[in-house]
Structure formats: structure tokens, C-alpha cells
Structure 1
Amino acid sequence: MEKDSKYNWRQKLHDIIYEADTPAGKSFDVILLILILASIILVMLESVKSIGARYHDFFEIGEWIITIFFTIEYFARIITVKKPSTYIFSFYGLIDFFSTIPQYLAFFFIGSNALLTIRALRLLRVFRILKITRYVGESNKLAKAIKDSKAKVSIFLFAVLILCIIAGTLMYMIEGEESGFSSIPVSVYWCIVTLTTVGFGDIAPVTPLGQLIAAIIMIMGYGIIAVPTGIVSAEYAKDQDASKITIDGEDYVHMNTQACENCNARKHRDDALFCHNCGHSLFINE
């Protein structure tokens, strides 16, 4: 009986901390995000000398309160999973650790509390609160499309780099130092800026031939921007029906915010009974 009670306590705490499908889980995540935002605001305001000097004690107390909460949360996440290492060495586990430790490092290293801005990365959890599962699924598909198109995009970018080196060298030969093209690296920098249609305007060709080459590079820039977009879109289109079902004429994604208690794996289908990673049951054993 005592073992079951302990298990239920752990399981319920796990659901509150890791899930966003329950009122308690949503409330916990909302409180967490508010504290993250408050911490970031405190750090930013403290960096303003006039404000930091006047309200230093307030900022210090506020940050310690928030840090203690994050410390409790971090250890709670560890004790509610059967394999703590799966959380500790996960992406969010490392973010949680590095967003909490700076305040304690302030005892030993002056200025280390500025590292608290890393907590901004934890705002990624806002997507778990929204419970808009179709967007969670779409983001996973987009990440997969980018990964699948990595080789093609890499080759394309390498070709663009070669083009920039050639064009930059030509501009250096045509324009010279008088026009600001003082070296080949500077000329390559100008070519990259022009090709990406940024155009800082700090360097500009003055000769007719140089202006002609610049015009060609600008026009090519529009096409070059479109190519990687097309590559990723093609990969994305291949998997557009991979994880969807159709209900009343609309597409829905089979995914939710549920995290496995055993291995902390996510991205489970709505109709899943067991974890896709370790096979552990996704439901509370009553």
C-alpha cells in the first residue's frame, strides 16, 4: 500500500510538471513562464546602471526567490522520472541546469548572474501550454524536412560561397582601394551583403563595369534566396500526410504533449498506449 501511494504521488507530480493536458499542468507551466519572464526582466533592468544601483536589493531578493523555485523544479523533474539521466542530459534538462546555476555561481564569480538570460530558451515550452497539437506536429515535420534537405542545401551554399569569392575578386580587380574594395576579403564581404539583398551601403562600386556586376549580383540574390526555400518545401511536401488523419474534412495530427515517465520521451500519438521509445505504459496504474 505504501509503495502504491509513493508511486501515485510520483506519477501525479510527474503529470503536473511534464504534462500540459491537465489544468494543474497548464497552471504550473503558466507560473513557470511568468517567473522566467520576470527573471529575464530583472536581469535586463539590473544591467541599466541607474536602475540597478537604485533597486539592487529588490533585484537580488527577487532573483533569489525565482532561483529557489527553479532549483526545486529542477530536482522535482529528476525524481519524477525513473531514469534521471534521460532528463539531466536532455536538451531541456541542460537548459534548466544552466539557467539555474548562474545565481549560485555569483558567490564565486562576479558578473556570472548575467548568464541568467539563457532562461529565454526555456520559453520554448510555451508550445506545450497552447496544446495546439497540429502545430506541434507541423513543427516536427518542418524540422524533419530541414534535416532531410541538409545535404542539398549545404552543396548549394558551398556553390554560393564559391560565387562570392569569384565575384569579390573581380570587384577587387575592377574597383580597387579607391572605391573601398581594399582587399579580397572585404570585396567578398561586399558580395555576400549584396547577394543577400542587405546592402549596408558602406562600400559601393563607382565604375560602370563594377556597377553592372553589382546589378547582376543583386538580381541573382532574389533567385538564390528562393532556391533553399524550394528545396526545403519539396522535402516538406513529401511528408505532408505522414502523421495526419482526416476528420470531417480537416487534417489533424496524432501527437500530444505527453512525456513518458520512464524515459522522458515525447511526441506520442493521441491513440498511443505505450511509449514509442521504451515501451513503458503511458497511463497511471490505478
Structure 2
Amino acid sequence: MIRNRIFEIIEPAKSNDHHSRVFDNTILILIIFNVISVILESFSSIALRFQAQLDIFEIISITIFSIEYLLRIITSNLLYRENDKARAVLKYIYSPMAIIDLFAILPFFIPMILPVDLRFLRILRLTRILRIFKINRYTTSLSMIGRVLKKKKEELIVTLFVTFLLILLAASVMYYVETDIQPDGFPNILASLWWAVATLTTVGYGDVYPLSVLGKILSGIIALLGIGLVALPTGIISSGFTEELENKKQNYNRSAKAYKYKKRKKVLKRK
């Protein structure tokens, strides 16, 4: 009974569950403050002056996140009811959100178990910013992004594949056109990929650019192709959001109609 209630609290809150909503909001606020803490630590003046306070906040955060992680493991068989307890625990541990949870707390404990070089420790501490991805569990907006990307993954994979082919083709063509004129700028196809990415994304840093007439013509064509290429995944994702919002609206209307029907039925029964 207690385990069931813990599961209800740590899962995304229902509209009538006050304790669960308080838990969700607390975790959200803690995640936001953790990200702010990582940013503040990058300022040497702030880090030197408030290091003790930042360390205390880190210990409090790690304690809360560790307890949350353990509670989710304990109640994992309630999340995966079709599996037995051992399989449910393993299924949760290897789930994407659980991996994010683990990487958010693991860097704190590694130096206690293994001797770690302090320079490497600084890199590990940056993984705390992964805690921001935990927000996905508590917000419907980020969940919607996940659903859209999952729904449109095939179209996006095809788009990315075509993009990769076009970048590779552009780099290869430009290498053969420009390498004799400027061997330092286009020494090989792999080095030419940087120019292709900057041109196709229409960033155009200008550190590497064609000098020959043919190179300039090809560069203009590739830049124009890049405009359509960048717009393609944007259009796919936009259509996915439109469909998702339309489905959400239809589900809300159905729920509202069902609620009105039940309410009317109760009134008729009373009469």
C-alpha cells in the first residue's frame, strides 16, 4: 500500500493529487537551480566566494536525486506490471530517463570509490547539467517534443541521410575544384567537409571560401540548396507539432463530451 502511494507521488502528478504535484514542482525547481549552479560555477569570482554554499547545495541535490532514483527502482514493477520484479528493475535501469538520472548523480560518487584526476573530475561535474533532461518527466510540453520526434523519426532519418550525402558531395566537388589553387584551404575531402557544413547551413564563416570562378558558381548553387535543406526538417517537425496539437484538441473535446454526458445521466437518474 505504501509502495503504491510512493509510486503515485513520484510519477507525473494527476490533477487531483496535491502531494504528487508538490513533489513534481520541487524536483523541477531543484533541476532549474542545479543548472543555474553549473553556470555560476563557471565564473571564477563567484566560485571562489561561494564555493562552500555551492557544495552544500550540491550535496542536498544529490541526496534528493539519489533518493528519487532509488524509489523509482523500488517501485519499477508498478511501472512495468507485465514483468516480474527483477526484470522490471532491469528494464527501468536501462530506460533512457533512468540513464539520465544515473549520470546526473554518478559524478558525485565516483571520486569516493575511485581515485580520479581533478581535471577529469571537473569534466565529470559538467554532466550535472544533464539534470535538465529530467524535466521531460514532469512537463507535457517536452513530452510532446519526444512524441513528435518519435512519430516523425523515419522522415527525419531520411532527411539527415540526404543531408549527409549532399554535404559529402559538396565537399568532394569543392576539393577537386579548389585543391590546386588553395591546398591549405582544401587539403582533402575531410577538411573540405567544414566548408560544406558552413555553406549548406548558410552560416558562412568566411574562413575558407572558393577562389576559382567554377568554385564560386558551385558554392552559390550549394548555398541555395542549403536553404531548402535546412527548411525540410523544420517543416517535418512543424507538421508533427500541428498533428499532435490537433490530436490533443480532439481528445480534450471527447473527454469534455464524455464528462457532460455522464453529468447529464446522473441528473436524469436523480429525477
- TM-score by length of structure 2 reads 0.71
Give, in angstroms, the shift of residue 141 of structure 1: 3.7
Letter in 2 for 1:19: P
Alignment of 1:1-286 (within 5 A): 7=1, 9-21=2-14, 22-82=17-77, 83-107=88-112, 108-111=115-118, 112=121, 114-131=123-140, 136=143, 139-145=146-152, 147-149=153-155, 152-153=158-159, 155-173=161-179, 175-177=181-183, 180-229=185-234, 236=240, 240=243, 244=247, 250-252=249-251
Pairwise CA distance, 1:232 = 6.5
For structure 1, which segment, 45-54 or 25-34, has the greater mean C-alpha deviation from structure 2 after superposition?
45-54
Structure 2 unaligned residues grouped into runs of 5+: 78-87, 254-271
Gaps of 5+ in 1: 1-6, 255-286
Structure ranking higher on relative contact order (CA contacts 8 Å, 6+ apart): 1
Paired residue type of 1:76:
L
**Equivalent position of 1:275 in the other structure:** none
Distance in 2, matches of 1:185 and 1:19, equals 46
- Structure 2 Cα separation of the partners of residues 26 and 137 of structure 1: 19
Compare the two structures and name the one with the higher helix fraction. Answer: 2
Contact 1:153 1:231 in 2 (8 A): no
| 1:128/1:89 CA distance change after superposition, 3 Å | closer
- Quote how far apart the aligned CAs of 1:153 are: 2.7
2:84 paired residue number = none
Q: Does 49-58 or 191-200 show the bigger shift?
A: 49-58
Instruction: Please give the root-mean-square deviation of Cα atoms over the aligned residues, in Å.
Output: 3.5
In the TM superposition, what is the alpha-carbon distance from 1:139 to its structure 2 partner?
Answer: 4.2
Kept after mapping to 1: 8 A contact 2:201/2:226: yes
Work out the CA distance in 1 between the residues paired with 2:43 and 2:31.
19
Work out the number of aligned pairs and report it. 239
The DSSP-based 3-state class of the residue aligned with 2:251 is strand
Taking a change above 3 Å as real, the CA distance of residues 66 and 206 of structure 1, as seen in their structure-2 partners, is same
* 1:75 positional shift: 1.4
Supply the distance in 2 between the matched residues of 1:173 and 1:109 (Cα, whole angstroms).
45
Point out 4+ residue stretches in structure 1 off by more than 6 angstroms. 231-234
8 A contact 1:33–1:126 mirrored in 2: yes
Contact residue 20 and residue 29 of structure 1 kept, 8 A: yes
- Once the two structures are aligned, what percentage of the paired residues are identical? 31
How far does residue 199 in structure 1 lie from its aligned partner after superposition?
0.4
**In 1, distance between residues paired with 2:102 and 2:193?**
41
Q: Tell me, in whole angstroms, the C-alpha distance in 2 between the residues paired with 1:31 and 1:188.
A: 46
Once the 2 structures are TM-superposed, how far is the Cα of residue 46 of structure 1 from its aligned partner? 3.1
Read off the aligned partner of 1:60 and give its amino acid letter: D
User: Aligned pair in 2 of structure 1 residues 113, 183: CA closer, same or farther (>3 Å)?
Assistant: closer
